[in-house]
Amino acid sequence: MAGHSKWANIKHKKARMDAKRGKLFTKLGREIIVAAKLGGGDPEANPRLKAAIQKAREANMPNDNIIRAIKRGTGEIEGADYEEVVYEGYGPGGVALLLKATTDNRNRTASEIRHLFAKNGGNLGENGCVAWMFDMRGLLTVDLNEVQQDPEEIMLESIEAGAEDVSVEGETVEIITAPDELMTVKETLAEKGYKFTIAEVTMIPKTTVSVSDREQAEKILKLVDVLEDHDDVQSVYANFDIPDDLMKEIGQ
């Protein structure tokens, strides 16, 4: 699990750029719609919706947009009928890729995702071909440059708050939780003054594929990038392991 946040941090920088184009708001709105559709419109009784709303607020999404998305999910107002779908496949070098998307047209989205895989050196696979390689977990990351506490104190307080595992990767502390404990652990640590770079339910690979060749790493990251840029794709998870220095070079 160590190092999972390396690419995630780069993705979040990209997400802030997406917000300027309005794309992030669209994706956050769809997540709220699906969460409300599946679990109801009360965030206190629907952890997924609560997390989606918090993420939307952190991205400065207008409250009216959030309320409207909830009502669309619960059927109080009309709108496109989005459903959640999962796509699985392989990228260059045999890297496993798991995608979560929301769509109102499964056939269209599947065709477009298949095209993106093929165009960028990958293959869209059958359901179940790579899902077994990932575990669903809550992920919190803390930037050591932005807190007063030392890593050992953060690790101890995180475990006391209910975290399953804590590791230090460079200047980042990764806190792993059970999916349904993410918000509880986050709120407990937030009360102690912690701020998080990442706070989300994610899919963490059980094993990774080491990629040290720059050309291959660039191909993998390009495929991930174009998949993430697709309007219907909410999240892309992969099991590559690219060295820090190479990741920084490519991410600049």
82-114: pLDDT as tens digits: 999 999 999 998 999 999 999 999 999 999 999
User: What pLDDT is stored for residue 1 in this prediction?
Assistant: 42
| Residue ranges in the chain assigned as alpha helix (H) | 5-21, 23-39, 47-58, 63-74, 106-119, 151-161, 182-190, 214-229, 244-251
How is domain 85-132+206-251 classified at the CATH fold level?
Alpha-Beta Plaits (3.30.70)
CA dihedral 239, 245, 250, 252 (to 10 degrees): 130
The model's pTM: 0.84
The DSSP bridge pattern shows strands 123-124 and 83-90 to be: antiparallel
Q: Which CATH superfamily is domain 134-205 in?
A: YebC, transcriptional regulation domain (3.30.70.980)
Residues of the chain with CATH 3.30.70.980: 85-132+206-251, 134-205
pLDDT at position 250 = 74
SS3 for 231? coil
Give the per-residue pLDDT at 9.
Answer: 56
Question: Looking at residue 197, what is its pLDDT?
Answer: 86
- At CA 236, angle to CA 232 and CA 239, rounded to 5? 160
pLDDT band (50, 70, 90) for residue 11: low
Q: Which CATH number fits domain 5-74: 1.20.120.1200, 3.40.50.720, 3.40.190.10, 1.10.10.200?
A: 1.10.10.200
Contacts of 42 by beta carbon, 8 Å cutoff, 6+ apart: 49
Residues of CATH 1.10.10.200 domain(s) within the chain?
5-74
| pLDDT tens column, 171-212 | 889 999 999 899 899 999 999 888 888 888 899 999 899 988
**How confident is the model over 111-123, as a mean pLDDT?**
96
Task: State the Cα–Cα distance between residues 196 and 161, nearest whole angstrom.
Answer: 15
Confidence class of residue 42 from pLDDT cuts 50, 70 and 90? Answer: very high
For residue 20, the model assigns a pLDDT of 52
Cα-Cα-Cα-Cα torsion 120, 123, 124, 128, nearest 10 degrees, comes to -140
Whole-Å CA distances, 58 to 6, 12, 140, 248: 21, 12, 14, 25
Provide the 8-state DSSP code for 203.
Answer: E
